[in-house]
Every structure is written in C-alpha cells, then in structure tokens.
A and B are shown apart, each in its own frame.
Chain A
Amino acid sequence: MTRMINKTPGSVLRMSLGLLPFVLILLIYMAGSDARLELNPNDKLLPSFEQMGDAIQRMAFEPSKRTGEYLFWADTGSSLTRLGLGVGIAALLGLLLGMSTGALPMIRAGVSPLLTVISLVPPLALLPILFIVFGLGELSKVVLIAIGITPFIARDIQRRTEEIPTEQLVKAQTLGASTLQILIRVVLPQLMPKLIDAIRLSLGAGWLFLIAAEAIASTDGLGYRIFLVRRYLSMDLILPYVAWITLLAFLLDITLAWVSRRLYPWNVQGGQ
C-alpha cells in the first residue's frame, strides 16, 4: 500500500479538497442562521444572506440620507488611501534604511541597534502619543501604519542586502564602480522584488493598525464603520464588511505578486 506521505491529489481532487472547507463553513452558517431566525425573526446574531445583501445595497448603492455619500465606497476609499500612504511611506523608509544598513558597515554600526530597539516597541502602545502629537486627523493614522511596519521592512531588506553575494560587490569594484554606482545598479535592483515580498508580508499588520486607528478615532473608513454599527449589533453589515476587507487584502496581495513576476522576471527560485 502507498504510504500516506507519498499520496498526492490530482488537480481536480486538489481543487475540490480546497473548496470543501469553504462550502462546509457556508452550509453550517446557513443552517445556524435559519435555525435562529426561525425561532426569532428579529435575531441579529446570524443574519441571512438576504439581510446582508439588503445592508450592502443600502450602504453601497443608495446615498446616505445624512451626507449624500455612498458610504460603502467612501469608507473603502478613505481606508485604502490611509493604508496606501502608510505602507508606501514605510516601504520607502524601510528600503532606504535597510539598504544603507545592509550595504554600508559604518551606517549599520550607527543605526542597527536603534532599529532593533524601535522594532520592539509595540506600535499600538504609541497610538495615544501619535494622537497627542499629530491630532486625531488623517496624519496620526498614516503615521501609525508607517511606524508599525517600517522596522519590519527595514530589517528584512537589511537581511536581503547582506545576502547579496560578496562576489558581485567585488566584481563591480574591479570594474571601477563607486559606492553609489554599486548601490544604484547592483544592490537596489536586486532588492526591489524583495521589497515587494516584504510589503506583502507586512500588509496584514498594516490592516491591523489601520482598523485599530479607525476604530478609536475616525469619522469614516471600513474599520470605523464596523466598530460604529457594533453598537446596534448590526451583524448584517459587519460580516459583509469583513468579507470585503478580506477580499481587498487578497486582491492587493495577488496584484503585488503579479507586479513582481512581471517586472522582475530574473527573480526566480534557484536563480543565479
């Protein structure tokens, strides 16, 4: 008999096995929802898909009675802007810090210990300080995301820089390259796909900080909305919002992966 460790599913079986848990969760949810709604039609805990659809219809396709905005899209827009700004700033800072500490021993000596300590500070603990210093507006939310993930990106990029074989740096020097030329032509291009990887890994944390900041002080945004309607136990709105956030995170991730493959075809497994 074939050992379990050697059994691999065919493509159809693999797809079905992958879908199975999703289908199961949906079925269990629907059964639970039906059972509760049958007992009490006003139950809010497990809304039916119809109720969720109504809620989204109200938020996404009807203007808000108070402001005239389409709240779902306005929330999405402000959240993505904050996330994009925060992650973008973190990526830029992380790249510069990581590359200079990774490639230049003098800068590593001066900056690395500080970076290590900063990366140990829990970013959410800094949130009150950010609110005091930068006020309750957009800035403090963007800064929270940036502070939260810059150390991770910087340290990852530093490690990646150190992984570039010394042979390449020596080779460039034997061709007459200056430090700046080596950084721009040898180090930086090889770090770009690694930077995209680091961003993909840190987006989860980025969403965490975004939603936390929006929950505490905001007037719009996906995180603000779900924490707002929590007061009315509006599971019919919270669940689709969570699903939407998950979908956005997934789309961001596969877009970045695609961009990386497209722009950096030389960055293949086992390349060299």
Chain B
Amino acid sequence: MSAMIEAKNLWKRYGDNVVLERINMRVQEGEFVTLVGTSGCGKSTFLKLLLGTESPSSGELLLDGKPIPNEPGPDRGIVFQQYSVFPHMCVLENVMAARAFARKGLTGYLFGAARRQAQDEVRAMLDQVGLGHALDKYPHELSGGMKQRLAIAQALLGKPRILLLDEPFGALDPGIRADMHELVLNLWREHKLTVFMVTHDLKEGFYLGTRLWVFDKLRQDPHAPNAYGAGITYDLSVGQLDHATYEEIDDNLRPVARLG
C-alpha cells in the first residue's frame, strides 16, 4: 500500500535558523499521529507545512505522491488552539459558513433550499459534538471546551481527508480534555480521517492516537543553538509502548517543558 503522506529528506529553515532537518516519514490513510516535543522544536512548523501556510526549504512533502499545495485547501481541515471560530457568527452560522464556503457562490451565503438542507445537516453535526442546545450563542458566550467543539464541528463539515489539530486542548481543564479526547476519537473512526495532532502533553500523545512522534534536536551546538534543526527522534506505534519508554521520553522533554 502506498503512503498517503510522505516526507523525503525534508528541511525547513528561516534564514540561518534551521527548524527541521532530515525528516523522512510515511503515513498511511486513517492513521492518528500525535506530535510531541519541547517548545520551539518545530512540531507546529511541521503542521504548517502540512497545512500549506509554510513550504519546505528543501526536500519533498507529498500528499498522494504530489507536493502539498502551498495554500490551505478543503482536503486539510484545521483546529487551532484559539481563534479558530468566527467571532461574529453564532454557533449555527459558524458551521453553516463551512457549508457555504464549500459551494462556488460569490458571497459565501446560502439561500433558499440549499440553506434549509444545510441547516438540517449542520444541526445533526452540532448535536453530535454536543452543541445542539447552544445554536444561537456567539463564541464569546461559550466556554473554552465548547468553542473547541464548535471548531471541530466546523472543520469536519468541510469534509476534509486530513484533520490537523494544533494543540487543540492546550487551554482546557483536564476533565474537559478527557471528554474532548473521546469526541475526537469517535469522529476519527466515524469519518475515517487521517489525524495529525500537536500536543504539549505527552500523556495525551501516548494514549490517544495510533502513532507517536517525538520531535527533538539530534545535534546540539551550545554556541549556536539554531544551527541544527529538530528531527523525529521517536516514531512509535501506540499500543506497543511500555512504561519505560514513556519515562525515557518524559525525562527528555521535561527539563525544557518545565522552563517553557
């Protein structure tokens, strides 16, 4: 089976600052990859490469054998840690907009039968993520967890093949996080998505997906901390992991995580 996403000797530099170096990987359709690493280790940059808002400095990043387009598109949905939803639209409109954007209309508004049809679909999706009771609320009236549920519903209505999550639960309370994990896992199975999730929380990465990547610098030059970029230091299948590996990675990440 050929890989859905493949990186071949991928590098990303900003001037002299090397962020990512020598990334080689293959991801099959339907995998759930979590990306962990210390602050500034390039995991978010990697997500931006997948998203298309950044492009590789050298090497290749392929989707179905073709280079990933250099702008965001409907095949790759995204949920950011914040600012993911439109503050001027109520919950229902936020998700309706996803439907409207998918059509070729000039204005991005839906009218008549198309609007009614979309409304039914949207209500069903909002019920599924647990926002059925808050249809006419504006984002500023929602809690952090509800806002992220809305962002996820919105992203899924665009019917992406790949869902990118950039620390989506970083700002949430631990209790709410567990609910959100369950929601994401359910949606991943049901919609047959390929998921990439960046997280600060190793535990989240360790138990949530099917595959765990740890981003870290392989080479360090104390006099020029930016001379070398990060690579994928661990590429593990979740499920075959033992506690010792967890401790080992945890030790590697912790000192910097505590400072940052």
Contact = CB atoms under 8 A, between A and B. Distances in A.
Contacts of B85: 171
A123 B82 CA distance: 43
B107 A190 contact: no
Interface of B: 51, 53, 71-74, 76-78, 80, 82-89, 97-98, 100-102, 105-109, 138-140, 151, 154-155, 157-158, 160
Nearest to B99: A175
Given A174-B155, A175-B154, A266-B87, A185 B74 contact: no
A175 B122 CA distance: 14
A180 interface: yes
Decide if the interface of chain B is mainly helix, strand, loop or mixed: loop
Interface of A: 165-168, 170-178, 180-182, 184-186, 189-190, 264-268, 270-272
B98 A268 contact: no
9 contacts: A171-B80, A176-B102, A177-B101, A180-B108, A181-B105, A181-B106, A185-B86, A189-B88, A266-B87
Given A176-B101, A185-B100, A171 B106 contact: no
B107 A174 contact: no
A185 B107 contact: yes
Contacts of B157: 175
Contacts of A172: 86, 97, 101
Given A174-B73, A174-B77, A176-B158, A264 B107 contact: no
B139 A266 contact: yes
Contacts of A268: 140
B84 to A, nearest CB: 6
B198 to A, nearest CB: 14
Given A185-B107, A266-B87, A272-B82, A170 B51 contact: yes
Given A190-B88, A272-B87, A272-B139, A174 B51 contact: yes
A176 B74 contact: yes
A186 B71 CA distance: 18
Contacts of B86: 168, 171-172, 185-186, 190
Contacts of B108: 177-178, 180-182, 184-185
Nearest to A265: B138
B45 to A, nearest CB: 14
A158 B71 CA distance: 23
A266 B140 contact: yes
